[in-house]
């Protein structure tokens, strides 16, 4: 893509045009060589759309709940972006993306943009490109942007680092699983949603959850716990209120914008650092395989390689 094509694509995305937004999302998702050039053009330091993460075990009703939240935000006249992730097969690489199915009532509303993604081997509950996809939607004027994770187990806590507000959705019937989930996932919810509250076992679930927070230590403020039924709509109003509250509690706009910039820079440093290191490795050793051969021959160690790459970089900087 040449400069003028990128410029006009960026312009169309900023204007919120559907097809260009969709194309931009694909570029980001596919790791298109120009995707960073595009994101560079879309970046605005003052922008601070609220990112709402929705996570929880498979079948907890995350998508249906998300659908209810979209209803509520639409009634307030807000334009809503959604990125929903389902797992990709580690064998075929294929994926059945079924979250949209629960949100199809909004399909014909251009003020709601829903994008389904396969996790494509990325661990952590999201797709590798979820954050950048959220950026594209925010640039297109969607606020809030909702990020729905794959059905999670215990350790998929990545969403909490990206979202301003994270909803942890739990349901009755998981019993002791709640206990086993406690260590990782139970710590990331800014709001705990007890979904399917019309089902038996909801009282027990609430007790278990509240007890687990009491045990989490002195001084720590337990997150609000709200009962919902995404099926009947019960509790959704209360939940939407709690989300707004938590979003404003996530700090004033400049603070959130700074936090977002920091997260993005961290990731860029990681990515670029690796890229530069690979180039240095190619330059100093003739690539990975060559370096590995030296290690196996006993002529070098991985640590020694690290030291000499760093020394080479320092020399170039001087």
Q: What residues make contact with another protein under the rule CB under 8 A?
A: 18-19, 21-23, 25-26, 30-33, 88-89, 92-98, 100-101, 104, 107-108, 110, 113-116, 118, 120
- Classified as helix, coil or strand, 306 is helix
Cα separation, 80 vs 82, in Å, equals 7
C-beta closer to another protein: residue 148 or 206: 148
User: What's the token pair of residue 89?
Assistant: 């097969």
Q: Which is nearer to another protein, 31 or 241 (CB)?
A: 31
Strand, coil or helix: 250: coil
The residue among 131 and 256 lying less far from another protein, judged by its C-beta, is 131
- Conformational region of residue 47, where left means phi above 0, alpha means psi within -120 to 50, and beta covers everything else: beta
Contact 237, 68 (CB under 8 A): no
With respect to another protein, which residue has the nearer C-beta, 40 or 210? 40
The minimum distance between CB 80 and another protein, in angstroms, equals: 12
In angstroms, rounded to a whole number, what is the distance separating the alpha carbons of residues 42 and 137? 10
- From the CB of 110, what's the least distance to another protein, in Å? 8
Distance CA 260, CA 87 (A): 26
Nearer to another protein, 109 or 177 (CB): 109
Question: What is the C-alpha to C-alpha distance for residues 175 and 73, in angstroms, rounded to an integer?
Answer: 32
C-alpha span between 125 and 55 (Å, rounded):
8
**Closest to another protein by CB, 70 or 114:** 114
Q: Which is nearer to another protein, 24 or 250 (CB)?
A: 24
Question: Do the bridges between strand 165-170 and strand 191-194 make them parallel or antiparallel, or are there none, so unpaired?
Answer: parallel
Q: In whole angstroms, what is the distance from residue 209 CA to residue 202 CA? A: 11
Cβ(63)–Cβ(148) below 8 Å: yes
* Least Cβ distance, residue 293 to another protein (angstroms): 29
Q: How far is the CB of 217 from another protein (least distance, A)?
A: 43
Rounded to an integer, what distance in angstroms lies between the CA atom of residue 193 and that of residue 195? 6
Please, which residues bridge with residue 167 across strands? Answer: 54, 191
Q: How far is the CB of 68 from another protein (least distance, A)?
A: 17
In angstroms, give the least distance from the CB of 163 to another protein: 21
Residue 250 token pair: 């996530």
**Least distance to another protein, CB of residue 211, Å:** 39
Q: How far is the CB of 21 from another protein (least distance, A)?
A: 8
What's CA 86's distance to the chain center, in Å? 12
- Toward another protein, which CB reaches closer, 97 or 292? 97
């Amino acid at each position: 893509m040449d400069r003028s094509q990128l410029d006009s694509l960026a312009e169309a995305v900023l204007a919120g045009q559907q097809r260009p937004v969709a194309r931009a999302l694909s570029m980001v998702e596919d790791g298109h060589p120009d995707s960073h050039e595009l994101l560079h053009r879309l970046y605005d330091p003052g922008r601070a759309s609220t990112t709402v993460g929705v996570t929880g075990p498979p079948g907890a009703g995350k998508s249906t709940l998300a659908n209810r939240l979209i209803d509520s935000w639409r009634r307030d006249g807000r334009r809503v972006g959604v990125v929903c992730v389902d797992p990709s097969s580690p064998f075929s690489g294929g994926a059945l993306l079924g979250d949209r199915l629960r949100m199809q009532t909004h399909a014909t509303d251009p003020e709601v943009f829903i994008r389904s993604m396969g996790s494509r081997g990325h661990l952590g509950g999201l797709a590798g490109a979820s954050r950048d996809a959220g950026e594209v939607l925010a640039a297109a004027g969607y606020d809030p942007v909702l990020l729905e994770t794959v059905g999670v187990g215990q350790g998929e806590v990545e969403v909490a680092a990206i979202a301003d507000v994270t909803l942890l959705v739990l349901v009755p019937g998981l019993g002791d699983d709640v206990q086993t989930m406690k260590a990782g996932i139970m710590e990331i919810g800014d709001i705990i949603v007890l979904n399917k509250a019309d089902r038996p076992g909801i009282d027990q679930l609430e007790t278990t959850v509240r007890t687990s927070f009491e045990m989490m230590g002195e001084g720590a403020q337990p997150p609000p716990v709200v009962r919902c039924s995404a099926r009947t709509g019960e509790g959704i109003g209360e939940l939407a209120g709690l989300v707004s509250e938590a979003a404003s509690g996530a700090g004033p706009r400049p603070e959130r914008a700074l936090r977002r910039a920091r997260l993005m820079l961290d990731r860029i440093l990681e990515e670029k650092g690796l890229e530069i290191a690979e180039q240095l490795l190619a330059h100093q050793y003739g690539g990975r395989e060559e370096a590995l051969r030296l290690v196996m021959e006993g002529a070098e160690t991985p640590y020694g390689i690290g030291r000499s790459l760093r020394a080479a970089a320092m020399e170039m900087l001087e």
